[in-house]
Structure 1
Amino acid sequence: MPQPLTDPFFTYFSEGIDTISIPDYFSLMLEKPHQLCLLATKQLQNYLSEQTEWTHNFGLSNRIDGAIIGKMFGVLVVRNQNDEIGFLSAFSGKLAGTNQHTHFVPPVFDLLTENSFLNNGMEALGKMSKEIKSLENQNNPDSKEEIKKLKTSRRNYSVNLQNEIFEHYHFVNQAGEEKNLIEIFKNIGYKNPPAGAGECAAPKLLQYAFQQKMKPIAMAEFWWGQSPKSNFWKHGYFYACCKEKCEPIFKHMLKGFALEKA
């Protein structure tokens, strides 16, 4: 079906959905996906299997080199401002070495921007580490105090850099209220947000939907590829959104939302 140029990330269903009932409340998958999410997932998985735009080693083919990195993907069924039903797609973290892909909603904050504060910060940390290693290799007892000071400086610099990252992740809810990660997690008693918070597929999807004035209808996430670190993640299986990273963000983003636990 041809798609009008209303939104580059809004995808129409390739199959008819007229016989499927639209839930009155937002369906956030806890046990099983809504039927609309099953259709959206099928469509997205067909795209992942057939696309040739980028190369990522999911561990599903012997023809691709590099480390095997399975990914969590998400679909969010939405109603757009034209009163049309479709869905948005997202992935967790990076895909094929980048945050930006034409088929998927953008990240909440792009850490990979050239000459960003993160790149400059990582470069500064690298210089500190080289200086520490150089002094350690000299094996000079007089350098012990200097090494200790450098390690303290590196640790403090790293903590400040991480906090700066968290401050750049701003999440909006349906009412237009905006909070960064530090504010979100402090409100529920966390000292600091966990590493990688805000990079999961689900918050990306809600963020884009709210920014574009789309109404969320139902959401589901699934794992695609092999999992080199844990047998828990299985190819093609659905999983509920993670409690550690996503649940606190949802408390802010879904404030005032009537939820249907599917």
Structure 2
Amino acid sequence: MNESIPFFHRFKQDISKLEKPDRFTFPFCYDPHPLSLHAAQELQQYLLEQQDFQHNFGLSEEQEGSPIGKMFGVLVVENKQGILGYLAACSGKLAGTNIHRRLVPPLFDMLAPGSFFLQQEATINQLNREIEALEAQTDIPLLEERLNNIQREAAESLSNMRRLHKQNKNQRKESRERQKPLLSEEEYLTLEQDLIKQSYRDQHEYDVLKQNTKENIGLVEQELQSHRLQITEKKDLRKQLSAGLQQQIFDQYVFLDAHGHTKSLLPIFEEALQILPPAGAGECAAPKLLQYAYQNELKPICMAEFWWGASPSSEIRKHKYFYPACKGKCEPILTHMLQGLAVDPNPLLENPANDKELPILFEDECIIVVNKPEEFLSVPGIHVQDSVQTRILDRNPEITGPLIIHRLDMSTSGILILAKTKEAHQFIQDQFIKHTVQKRYTALLDGIVNSQEGIIDFPLRVDLEDRPRQMLCYEYGKNARTQYKVVAIEGDKTRIHYFPLTGRTHQLRVHSAHQQGLNAPIWGDDLYGKRANRLHLHAGYIQFIHPNTKQNIVFEVDDPF
């Protein structure tokens, strides 16, 4: 009976009135189905009450150790008897192990006792210790210092001898000139032969010194190279073992799809992205859940993933919030694993602006100002061409120069300026570059902001494993500064004005949601907060100098939410 399958959990709640979805969840953009919500609630209740493992999620100050939140996933499945249940999984290891009573196991348990991973890891760790010990030895720095001293002394000795020999040469020249008028031809010939012998003697003396210093330097260099070679050989061996271990690990990850077809990790990423799989590929919750379902003839119905615990310092993760699967690690894998399932359509392939009008606020001979609706591209995308740019070009085919001066995120509504001439484009773009354009955004935040005003200042860069998400990064991030002023508290939400001092991707969204910012996501932010009917962010005010009149011009549109 399928009911006896380990990790298959029957619902404790009554789900008899809940209808199954027609299609499986599109994992990269979704609203959790009610069945997924019930499964997530039961898993969350277990996490609150469980005594099976000790892990500091950061939810209690009493727990020891550094807090580490984790991503969990639930997969609602149907067994052969038509009974609905769910599977649960955690991304990565939990509490130092991969094996848990209520969570499906990974495709490959690297931490299993006696596994080749642990054996090879022990060998590599031993090499690391040997390399560290060799690098910590005083022999190499002492030899390097000794070599530097010998080289410096040799250079000084050779320089001094060249200087002495130059003086000798000048003296010989003076002797020739002084003695020649005073000596007979025979006497002068004898003198010349003696001076030539002195010259040869000097050259020989210099050659001997040069050879001796070269030999002395060579002996120290040889000894130093011998010590360095030990380290180099061990590092080369470590590199070779690490590459071999990585290949072995890749070979363990063979993923099923709904048809029962298999494909391993390397060809999945080679075919999709032409790259090697990133570290941790295949260890996220979603691939674990689907693999276990396929292996046990359980039909996937719907899925959801949620964060449990404290957020990482650089990313934005909110406790109990639902999140899409990551793009960098999971998209190639899940694209394969979902083959054979009827899946919800990818919203990125649809045009949400198809039936929307593009209001024109102002137009003259050099600029057009529009009020861009939400879910409307500023410029053509990869899959959707419809955008402000294409609409305006269709409307004004005479425009030949650059059109777009600045952009708004697809989900952000508000004022957008476009240029009708090359000169106007350059003139206004220079104002954006010099930060003389005054802009104001209005946002509705999902939470209470206690401070009335201030400046948020921390650098941002793209999350390479989950584009287009941005993350805090002091090492590689670009400067990002946002001035804010609270307008009103509306129930459990905050209406706020933003005055961006820089223009980084998702700057306002990240500065709102991150714990080092306001720690309150913009309402409806499906990347950094909770999905809603829209992203409640509106570019409502802009002031700049008109290209022709050279006068300040202002546009203002009330926020639509």
TM-score interval for Structure 1 and Structure 2 normalised by the shorter chain: over 0.9
Indicate which of 213, 220, 224 corresponds to 2:308.
224
The reply to whether residue 15 of structure 1 matches residue 8 of structure 2 is no
Residue deviations 1:56-76 (CA, integer Å, cap 9, x gap): 110111222122111100000
* Structure-2 change in CA distance of 1:162 and 1:136 (3 Å): same
Q: Measured at CA, do residues 12 and 5 of structure 1 come closer, stay the same or move farther in structure 2, by a change above 3 Å?
A: closer
- Once residues 304 and 119 of structure 2 are traced to their aligned partners in structure 1, the CA distance between those partners, rounded to angstroms, is 36
The residue identity in structure 2 corresponding to 1:41 is A
Q: CA deviation at 1:5?
A: 5.4
| Structure 1 position 205 matched with structure 2 position 204 | no
1:72 aligned onto 2:156: no
For residues 3 and 336 of structure 2, what CA distance do their matches in structure 1 show?
31
Equivalences for 1:92-241 in 2 at 5 Å?
A: 92-138=91-137, 139-140=139-140, 141-142=224-225, 143-241=227-325
Larger radius of gyration: 2
Q: Which secondary structure state, in structure 2, belongs to the residue aligned with residue 87 of structure 1? A: strand
> Residue 151 of structure 1: SS of its match in structure 2?
helix
The letter for the 2-side match of 1:55 is Q
Distance 2:276 2:26 in 1: 26
Work out which structure has the larger RCO, using CA pairs closer than 8 Å and 6 or more positions apart in sequence: 1
For the structure 1 residues 190 and 22, does the alpha-carbon distance in structure 2 shift closer, same or farther, using more than 3 Å as the test? same
What CA RMSD, in Å, does the superposition of the two structures yield over aligned residues? 1.7
Matching residue within 217, 221, 242 for 2:326? 242
Equivalent residue of 2:255, what SS? Answer: strand
190-199 or 226-235: bigger deviation: 226-235
- Cα displacement (A) at 1:183: 2.1
Q: Are 2:52 and 1:33 equivalent residues in the alignment? A: no
| 2:3/2:79 contact within 8 Å kept | no
CA distance in 2, matches of 1:27, 1:209: 15
CA distance in 2 between partners of 1:126 and 1:234 (Å)? 36
Preserved CA contact (<8 Å) 1:92 1:200: yes
What amino acid is aligned across from residue 289 of structure 2 in structure 1?
A: L
What TM-score do the two structures reach when normalised by structure 1?
Answer: 0.93
User: How much does 1:227 deviate?
Assistant: 2.0
Aligned residue for 1:220, secondary structure, equals strand
Equivalent position of 1:63 in the other structure: 62
The one-letter code sitting in structure 1 at the alignment partner of 2:35 is L
Residue 259 of structure 1 is matched in structure 2 by: 343
Counterpart residue number, 1:50: 49
Conserved in 1, the CA contact under 8 Å of 2:98 and 2:106? yes
Q: In the aligned structure 1, how far is the partner of 2:273 from the partner of 2:60? A: 44
- The alignment's TM-score, normalised by the length of structure 2, stands at 0.45
Deviations along 1:186-231, one digit per CA (max 9) or x if unpaired, are: 2223331000011100000000100111110100000000023334
Query: In 2 relative to 1, CA 17–184 (structure 1 residues): closer, same or farther, beyond 3 Å?
Result: same
Gaps of 5+ in 2: 141-223, 348-561
Partner-residue secondary structure (3-state), 1:183: helix
Alpha-carbon separation, structure 1, partners of 2:254 and 2:293: 14
Alpha carbons 1:73, 1:201 under 8 Å: kept: yes
Q: Which runs of 4+ in 1 moved over 6 A?
A: none
Matched-pair contact (CA < 8 Å) for 1:171–1:179: yes
Letter in structure 2 aligned against 1:34: H
Query: SS of the counterpart of 2:4?
Result: coil
- What letter corresponds to residue 125 of structure 1 in structure 2? I
Q: Which amino acid aligns with 1:104?
A: L
**Are 1:194 and 1:245, in contact at CA under 8 Å, matched by a contact in 2?**
yes
Taking the aligned partners of 2:307 and 2:53, their CA distance within structure 1 comes to 18
Paired positions, count: 259
Equivalent position SS for 1:89: strand
Deviations 1:73-122 (A, max 9, x none): 00001111111011111001111111111111111111111111111111
Q: Residue deviations 1:156-212, cap 9 Å, x none?
A: 221221121111112111221122211211222333100001110000000010011
Contact 1:28–1:220 (CA under 8 A) maintained in structure 2: no
Q: Secondary structure at the match of 1:187?
A: helix
Identity %: 48
How many angstroms apart in 2 are the aligned matches of 1:254 and 1:5? 24
Corresponding residue for residue 453 of structure 2: none
CA contact (8 A) 2:251 2:264 kept: yes
Q: Distance in 1 between matches of 2:52 and 2:273?
A: 43
Distance 1:162 1:152 in 2: 15
